[in-house]
Chains A and B, each alone.
Chain A
Amino acid sequence: MSTIAEKILSRKSVEGERVSAGEIVACKIDYVMVNDVTGVPAFEVFEELNHSMQRESVVAIADHYVPNKDLASAKQAKALQDYCIKYGIENYYWPGDGGVCHQVMIEEGFAAPGRLIVGADSHTCSYGALGAFSTGIGSTEAAAVMATGELWFKVPETQRFIVDGKLRRYVSGKDIILHILGDISVSGSLYRAQEFYGSAIESLPLADRITICNMAIEAGAKAGIIPPDDKVFEYLKGRVRGDYTPVYADKDAEYEDTFRYDAETIPSTVAAPFLPDNTSPARDLDVVIDQAYLGSCTNGRIEDLRIAAAIVNGRKVKRNVRMIVVPATQQVYLQAIREGLLEIFASAGAFVSGPTCGACLGGYMGVLDAGEVCVSSTNRNFVGRMGHKDSLVYLASPAVVAASAIAGKITDPEDL
C-alpha cells in the first residue's frame, strides 16, 4: 500500500490522517535545523511573527563560514550565536564543538528512523540513510516551523532504486549515486522521494549510505531513504535522543518507477563540470588537476578519511597540487587524530584543516582561480561553485580524490 515517505508523513500528520502521493498534508516536525547562512534570516523572520519559540526542536549549527572568513561572516556568525542565547537554543553548535551540520545532526542523535526533520540546507536529505524523512527548506519556512512546529508537504511519488551485487574494490556509495545521477539526470527525481534497496545497498556501511542520500537532492529529490537495519540501530545506541520507530514500505507499496543496477558494473565514477549528472568512469578522463579536496557533508566522515589515508600513506602529493583535507566534524577530527590519519595526510604534503563547509561552496579555504581544476569529494560542480566562474570542479569519491592528488591528474585508484 504505502511507501516509506507516505507512511512517515501519515504518522506525522497533524490531523492523524493516512495520506498518499499527491495529497497535501500538514505535519508535526521533529527537528528544524539552521546554519550560519540560513539561520540568521530565519531568526529575523521569526521575530516578525511575534510568536513563542519551539526551542527544543530547533538545532542551530554554524558551519558554512566558520571559523569566520571575513568581517561580514563574523557579523553573521555572531548574530546566530546571539539569537541562540536570546531564545535559549540549547542545540547550538559552534566551531570546535560541532562541524558540518548534517554530520552533526547524525552524530548527535537528532536523526533517527521514522522521524520527520527539516533543515534550511538542501543536503538535509542526508538523514534518509537512517530511515528518516528529511528535506531541505528555506529560511522563512524554518522560521514558521520554529514558531508553529508544523509544516505542509505535498506527499511525493516514490521511485525505487535497486542495486544488487558486489561492488568492485574502491567503488563506494559516492560512485553509486554519481552513476545513478548519470542515468536519471539532475531533474530525474524532481518533486519525488527515492528509496534504495538491494544487496549492494545492504552491504554498505552507514557512511556510504549517508553519501547516497545526501546527493538525492542532486536529482531534485525531496528525500532519499534507505530502510533502516541493524547497522543503523547499532550506530544509534547511546547516541539517539529519545525514542524512535523504524518505518518500512509495505510489500505492495506503489512506486512510480523502479531502476535496477548491477553493482559489479559500476566503475569509480566522476562527474565533470557543470552538472552532477555529467558522469563518466574516472579511467576515461585525462584531466590534470590543481587541487584535490577531501571533505564536506558528502564525504568528510572518518570512513572516507581512512580510505583516502590508505592510498596516500607513504606517498607524496604531486608537486604543485594542493590536497586539502577537511574532516566533517570535531568528532571525525578527533578520531582522525587518534588513528594517525591526519599525520599521514600532512606527511604526504596535504593541507589539513578543522571542520568547515569552507571551499565546497566556494566560501574559503580552497577557492579556485580562473582555469583551475579541482577533483572534489563534494556534491556540486556548478559554474563557479568553488570559486571563479571559469574554474572547474570534478566530483568523485574519496579514493579517486586521494589517487588523483598523488598522480596529479584524475586517476582511478586501481591504476595508481
Chain B
Amino acid sequence: MWKFGDNVDTDQIIPAEYLVTGDPKELARYAFCKVRGEFAKEVREGDIIVGGSNFGSGSSREHAPRALIGAGISCVIAASFARIYFRNSINIGLPPIECKIRAEDGDILEVDLGKGLIRNTTSGESFNFKPLPGFLQEMVDAGGLIEWLRSKPQ
C-alpha cells in the first residue's frame, strides 16, 4: 500500500510532458515521477493507493488513472475524490473507494467492494464504506464504461 496526502493532483500522477500516448504501460513508467521517484520502480501488481481528500484534482487527463492501471494498482482509497478523476476511474474500471482510513506505507489491505469493507491486516483495523450506486458498480464490474455500454442492447 502507498500512502499519499491531500490534493494529489493529476499533474503529480502523470506530468503533462508524458501525455503524448494513451498507453497505460507506457504512462506507468512516469507515474508520480516528480513527487515520488521510487514509485514506478517499486510498485507491484495489485498494490493499493491510499490518499487524503480531493484525490485526482486538477486536469481531466484520463491518462492519470490509466497510468495507475498500467502500474498494476488495484484500487485507490481516498477520503474524497475530485469529480472528473472519480468518473474517469470508474469509466476505465479502476474502482475509486471513498473512505477515510488509517494505514501506513507498506500495510496490507483487503478490500471487499461488494460488502463495502476494508481490512487493514497489518493493524487489524476495519473500515466500512458505502458501495457505489448499482449502475456504477455494474460499470466497474464490466471493466469500464465501454464494456458496460457494449453489454447493453443498442
* A122 contact set on B, CB distance < 8 A: 58-60, 84
B93 CB, nearest partner CB in chain A, Å: 10
Nearest chain-A residue to B150 (Cβ)? A49
| Contact in complex: A362, B62 (CB < 8 Å) | no
In the complex, which residues 16-57 of chain B have their Cβ closer than 8 Å to any Cβ of chain A? Answer: 16-17, 19-22, 34-35, 53-54, 57
Given A48-B146, A138-B88, A190-B54, also A120-B60 (CB < 8 A): yes
Asked whether any CB of chain B lies closer than 8 Å to the CB of A141, the reply is yes
Known: A44-B22, A186-B54, A383-B12. A138 touches B62 (CB 8 A): yes
A48 neighbours in B (Cβ, 8 Å): 146
Please indicate the chain A residues that have their CB under 8 angstroms from the CB of B149 in the complex: 49, 144, 147-148
Asked if A241 lies at the interface with its beta carbon under 8 angstroms from chain B, I say no
A65 near B146: Cβ-Cβ < 8 Å = no
Considering only residues 369-416 of chain A, those with a C-beta below 8 Å from chain B are 380, 382-385, 389
Q: Are the CB atoms of A380 and B20 closer together than 8 Å?
A: no
Please determine whether B34 and A389 come into contact, CB atoms closer than 8 angstroms: yes
Encoded as 1 (CB less than 8 Å from any B CB) or 0, chain A from 354 to 376 comes to 00000001110000000000000
Chain A residues positioned under 8 Å from B22 (CB to CB): 40-41, 44, 139
Q: CA A124 – CA B83 in complex, angstroms? A: 14
Query: Is the pair B20, A220 in contact by a Cβ cutoff of 8 Å?
Result: no
* Neighbouring A residues of B135 by C-beta, 8 Å: 152
Do B35 and A37 touch across chains, with their CB atoms under 8 A apart?
Answer: no
Interface stretch, picked from A72-80, A91-99, A250-258, A338-346, is A72-80
Which chain A residues lie closer than 8 Å to B80 at the CB level?
187, 190
Partner of A65, one of B20, B82, B84: B20
* A139 to chain B: closest residue by CB: B62
- Tell me the bound Cα distance from A29 to B145 in angstroms: 17
Contacts of A389 in B (CB 8 A): 34-35
A140 with B154: CB separation less than 8 A: no
DSSP class of B's interface residues: helix, strand, loop or mixed? loop
Q: Is B141 in the interface zone, CB < 8 Å from A?
A: no
B15 touches A138 (CB 8 A): no
Kindly state the separation between the CA atoms of A38 and B82 in the bound complex, as whole angstroms.
18
Query: A220 to B62, Cβ gap below 8 A?
Result: no
Whether A138 and B87, one on each chain, are in contact in the complex, defined by CB atoms closer than 8 angstroms, is yes
Report Cα–Cα, A190/B57, bound state, in Å. 10
A41 to B26, CA, bound (A): 14
A143 to B9 Cα, complex, angstroms: 24
List chain B residues, Cβ under 8 A from A62: none
- Number of residues of chain B lying within 8 A (CB) of chain A: 39
Chain B residues whose CB sits within 8 angstroms of the CB of A64 once the complex forms:
16, 19
A186 touches B150 (CB 8 A): no
In the complex, the answer to whether A75 meets B7 with C-beta atoms within 8 Å is no
- Say yes or no: B91 contacts A141, CB within 8 Å: yes
Contact B92 A140 (CB under 8 A): yes
Closest Cβ of chain B to A36, distance in Å, is 9
Q: How far is the CB of A4 from chain B (nearest CB, A)?
A: 18
Q: Which residues of B contact A85 (CB under 8 A)?
A: none
- Residues A45 and B87 in contact, CB atoms below 8 Å apart: no
Shortest A389–chain B CB gap in Å is 4
Among B16, B35, B63, B92, max chain A CB count under 10 A is at: B16
Q: How far, in whole Å, are A309 and B145 apart by their CA atoms in the complex?
A: 48
* A136 CB–B CB distance under 8 Å: yes
Residues of chain B within 8 A (CB-CB) of A143 are: 146
- A337 to chain B: closest CB distance in Å? 29
Tell me if A168 is interfacial: C-beta within 8 Å of chain B. Answer: no
22 CB contacts below 8 A, A to B, read A37-B16, A37-B19, A37-B61, A38-B60, A38-B61, A45-B146, A49-B149, A76-B21, A120-B60, A121-B59, A121-B60, A122-B84, A124-B60, A138-B91, A140-B145, A147-B149, A187-B6, A187-B7, A217-B84, A222-B83, A361-B11, A361-B16
Give me the interface of B with A, judged by CB distance under 8 Å: 6-7, 9, 11-12, 15-17, 19-22, 34-35, 53-54, 57-63, 80, 82-84, 87-88, 91-92, 133, 135, 144-146, 149-150, 154
By a beta-carbon cutoff of 8 Å, the part of chain A in contact with chain B is 24, 37-38, 40-41, 44-45, 48-49, 51, 64-65, 70, 72-73, 75-76, 120-122, 124, 136-141, 143-144, 147-148, 152, 186-187, 190-191, 217-218, 220, 222, 275, 361-363, 380, 382-385, 389
Other than A144-B149, A383-B11, A383-B12, give 16 A-B pairs with Cβ distance below 8 A: A37-B19, A37-B61, A38-B60, A41-B63, A76-B20, A120-B60, A136-B60, A140-B145, A187-B57, A190-B83, A220-B83, A362-B17, A380-B58, A382-B9, A382-B11, A384-B34
